[in-house]
Amino acid sequence: MSLHATAGIVAEAGGGLPVLRSDGPLALRRTRGTDPYTRVTVVGAMSAPLGGDRLAIETDVRDGARLLVDSAAATVALPGHAAEPATYDIRITVGDDAVLRWLPEQLVSARGSDLRMRTTVDLAPTARLVLREEQILGRHGEETGTLRTRLTVRRAGRPLIDQELAYGPGAPGGWDSGAVLAGHRATGQLLVVDPEFEDKPVESRLLAENAVLAPLAGPAALVTAVAPDALHLRRTLDEALNALAPA
């Protein structure tokens, strides 16, 4: 039987969490954070997402709030009894003068799984965002499942980035070619949105052998990286995070 679950977070200025709603496999816990951030950790309460599951997390960071969201462990997409793919939707709004650091652990696409993941973010004009996504294509020694991800970010109602990626069986040909992953099995990105970039935009440059920093058409910077494994990927993105948006 497929799961349908929607968890929710509402963060207010001053550290308040008027809504912290767990549902199904998505258990949310307030954990010890570092000032000025309120910290919420996603704890997997059961194996998910499986084929056919419909999961979502809705997050509202209200004006002036400071929120850090992370996870206790990697999310592993697994095959299930249902024929249809699983879906995992992340829906976020960030208000004026609010800051969100969205830093979950990796998403692992296990062999035989089929997952559609969608992240949608709406930012107020003075909001700040740090968002990390990491995908590991297959557990150790196994082939990847099918994974399709889409990241859509709007600032003040205008598009900032709308990017879709697909990997594994059923994905468009060439996803594993030298022009895309070149045989790597770890890929990720770091998006930093900061109004200060309007006056001091970042410059495009290589950060590592397989990572690049690029400015977006707005006060934002995007780091894209591929790596042989999760450890190398995290090191690359952590270096970029420390440079672009130190805690």
Secondary structure (H, E, C), 61-85: ECCCCEEEEEECCCEEEECCCCCCC
In this structure, of 27-36, 49-58, 74-83, 109-118, the range with the lowest mean pLDDT score is: 74-83
What digits encode the pLDDT tens for the residues 185-202?
A: 999 999 999 999 999 999
Average pLDDT in the chain:
93
Confidence of residue 180 (pLDDT cuts 50, 70, 90): confident
What digits encode the pLDDT tens for the residues 7-36?
A: 999 999 999 999 999 999 999 999 998 889
φ and ψ at 197, to 5 degrees? -70, -15
Q: Which two tokens stand for residue 199?
A: 């006056």
- The count of structural domains within the chain is 1
> Closest Cα partner for 108 from 84, 129, 88, 91?
88
For residues 107 and 109, give the distance between their C-alpha atoms in angstroms, rounded to a whole number.
7
Domain that holds residue 190: 4-244
What digits encode the pLDDT tens for the residues 129-157?
A: 999 999 999 998 899 999 999 999 999 99
Confidence of residue 48 (pLDDT cuts 50, 70, 90): confident
Helix (H) or strand (E) holding 171: none
pLDDT at residue 88 tops 90 = yes
- Tokens 């704890």, residue located: 43
Burial of 179 (0-12, 13-18, 19+ CB in 10 A): exposed
What's the rounded mean pLDDT across residues 197-214?
91
pLDDT at residue 173 tops 90 = no
